[in-house]
């Protein structure tokens, strides 16, 4: 809603808060009472005056009324959207929040919910307001400065916030009266603060390290009230919001930091991350493009840029914008090419390979897989993805290496899609072994190989055949393939026996042993061809 003004924007509209004496602000007791501020049902008399009152309420309620924290309603808040997806919040709550104040409070952890509206103003200066408490009870409120002038008690209460102001500002006074009324309606004493906390960035960092994110949020918010032009404070607050999963709020803080300092790269990184969390791919891509100005390219943001450009390409395709789609795919490939050069992380490289396959950049995809291949043995959970990608790239050799790593930990039961890719990888290895035997025997007959060289080849073939058989035995096929898979296992076993016979022949030179080996090889080939034919029918 357009009147639920982001807190970070509101902080900048009341400049006199920045001049409060530092002796009064060195320590702050932090309370834990959250008040949910909903948008008014009707437009205020003046938007700027409305912003000023909401800003003042946030400051007054926190520092005069015992540490109350104002949480403004955002219909795209991650916590609300998550509650909606989990069925804890009806869809109407996001469009008609006043009707679901109790449920919104439950989701946000707020003690009370209300709306306020400026009903009269002198240009940007509010003169009168109205409001309604919606939860935990219902009550109406109104205040008009023409009807009731400021009292001495109100001046005393607000004096720490006034700085050098000669008279009490209208927005502070109206906010105080609304807060006092709300305090009465809630029939409770101001919350007891926790032990006083030093109001500085170090304290905020210590709170974050201790997992006290809400208290860190309040400390940083108070610091920003005193130092509204310090971009690093906005960065810190954005990081806290991001850790809390409040990505919309985090994005606002990061954006403000970049507005104050255009080359604040850590804030641009935050914008990229939070935009990706919200699937705001245009924003994510824009932020990553800006990060290209840095001399050192961080792999995580190269990957994020590729992800964003790929998502935008898919969206362009859905809308029939082929030229735009091709441009995004080209940009995504450029990010991924840089990523391949910049990282050895197997997951990032595999993600890049998958994107590049979809972008028809086969050579780059293969380069990503080859660079990551030595790492996959220590990352077995990635191996099955590698196998599928490698098969799609017509590189069953890479697929087979990953398959061996995958099943080395024990028996593996693949899905039908995975099993199909596994078969392709094993078929390629079997063909390689058959061809290697044929070429070796031919070379030996033509005296291109000595007996010792031939034996070395056969020993390697024997080891490879044994590995293929053990790999195949470690795979538990889907039920539909169980019987035909036994034929495949028989083929591999016959091949291994034939290789052992061939090694005996090289040692003895007995023709009978060679003929037996040839027969075994022929049976192995026939069984494999039969298994492949049956598997095709099942697939």
Q: Which of 352, 329, 354 is nearest to 342 (CA)?
A: 352
What pLDDT score was predicted for residue 189? 41
Say if residues 27 and 275 touch (Cβ distance below 8 Å).
no
What pLDDT score was predicted for residue 164? 63
Tokens for 227, please give them: 């130092």
What pLDDT score was predicted for residue 185? 84
Classify 223 as helix, strand or coil: helix
What pLDDT score was predicted for residue 80? 79
What pLDDT score was predicted for residue 149? 83
Between CA 60 and CA 480 the distance in angstroms is 71
What pLDDT score was predicted for residue 197? 61
Crossing angle of helices 380-392/396-407, nearest 10°? 160
What pLDDT score was predicted for residue 351? 94
- The gap between the terminal CA atoms of the chain, to the nearest Å, is 53
What pLDDT score was predicted for residue 9? 36
What pLDDT score was predicted for residue 284? 95
What pLDDT score was predicted for residue 377? 60
Classify 449 as helix, strand or coil: coil
Q: Which of 201, 203, 276 is nearest to 231 (CA)?
A: 201
Q: 28 - beta bridge partners?
A: 197
pTM of the predicted structure, to 2 decimals: 0.59
Between CA 535 and CA 350 the distance in angstroms is 29
- Count of all residues that appear for the chain in the document: 539
What pLDDT score was predicted for residue 109? 80
What pLDDT score was predicted for residue 161? 77
What pLDDT score was predicted for residue 219? 87
Spans in the chain with pLDDT lower than 70: 1-32, 66, 163-166, 188-198, 376-380
Between CA 157 and CA 350 the distance in angstroms is 61
What pLDDT score was predicted for residue 484? 93
Tokens for 422, please give them: 């596994």
């Amino acid at each position: 809603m357009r009147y639920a003004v982001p807190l970070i924007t509101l902080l900048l509209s009341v400049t006199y808060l920045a001049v409060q004496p530092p002796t009064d602000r060195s320590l702050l007791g932090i309370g834990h009472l959250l008040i949910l501020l909903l948008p008014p049902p009707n437009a205020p008399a003046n938007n700027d005056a409305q912003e000023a009152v909401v800003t003042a309420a946030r400051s007054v309620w926190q520092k005069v009324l015992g540490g109350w924290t104002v949480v403004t309603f955002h219909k795209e808040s991650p916590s609300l959207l998550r509650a909606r997806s989990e069925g804890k919040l009806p869809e109407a709550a996001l469009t008609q929040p006043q009707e679901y104040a109790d449920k919104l409070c439950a989701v946000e952890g707020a003690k009370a919910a209300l709306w306020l509206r400026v009903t009269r103003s002198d240009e940007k200066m509010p003169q009168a307001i109205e409001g309604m408490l919606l939860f935990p009870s219902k009550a109406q409120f109104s205040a008009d400065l023409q009807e009731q002038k400021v009292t001495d008690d109100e001046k005393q209460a607000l004096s720490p916030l006034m700085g050098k102001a000669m008279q009490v500002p209208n927005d502070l006074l109206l906010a105080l009266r609304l807060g006092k009324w709300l305090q009465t309606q809630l029939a409770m004493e101001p919350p007891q603060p926790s032990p006083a906390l030093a109001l500085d960035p170090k304290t905020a960092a210590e709170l974050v390290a201790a997992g006290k994110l809400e208290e860190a949020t309040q400390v940083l918010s108070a610091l920003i009230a005193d130092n509204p032009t310090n971009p690093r404070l906005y960065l810190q607050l954005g990081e806290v919001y991001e850790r809390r999963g409040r990505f919309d709020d985090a994005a606002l803080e990061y954006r403000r930091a970049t507005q104050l300092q255009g080359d604040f790269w850590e804030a641009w990184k935050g914008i990229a991350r939070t935009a990706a969390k919200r699937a705001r791919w245009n924003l994510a891509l824009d932020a990553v493009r800006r990060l290209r100005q840095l001399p050192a390219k961080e792999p995580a943001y190269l990957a994020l840029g590729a992800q964003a450009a790929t998502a935008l390409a898919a969206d362009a395709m859905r809308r029939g914008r082929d030229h735009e789609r091709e441009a995004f795919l080209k940009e995504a490939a450029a990010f991924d090419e840089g990523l391949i050069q910049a990282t050895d992380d197997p997951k990032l490289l595999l993600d890049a390979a998958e994107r590049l396959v979809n972008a028809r950049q086969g050579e780059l995809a293969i380069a990503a897989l080859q660079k990551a291949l030595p790492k996959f043995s220590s990352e077995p959970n990635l191996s099955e993805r590698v196998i599928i990608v490698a098969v799609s790239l017509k590189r069953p050799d890479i697929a087979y290496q990953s398959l061996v790593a995958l099943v080395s930990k024990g028996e593996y039961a693949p899905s039908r899609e995975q099993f199909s890719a596994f078969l392709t990888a094993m078929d390629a290895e079997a063909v390689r072994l058959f061809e290697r035997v044929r070429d070796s025997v031919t070379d030996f007959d033509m005296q291109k190989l000595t007996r010792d060289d031939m034996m070395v080849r056969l020993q390697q073939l024997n080891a490879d055949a044994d590995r293929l058989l053990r790999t195949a035995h470690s795979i538990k096929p889907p039920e539909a393939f169980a019987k035909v898979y036994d034929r495949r296992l028989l083929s591999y076993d016959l091949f291994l026996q034939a290789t052992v016979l061939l090694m005996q022949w090289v040692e003895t030179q007995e023709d009978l042993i060679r003929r037996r080996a040839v027969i075994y090889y022929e049976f192995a080939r026939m069984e494999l061809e039969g298994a492949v034919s049956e598997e095709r029918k099942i697939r």
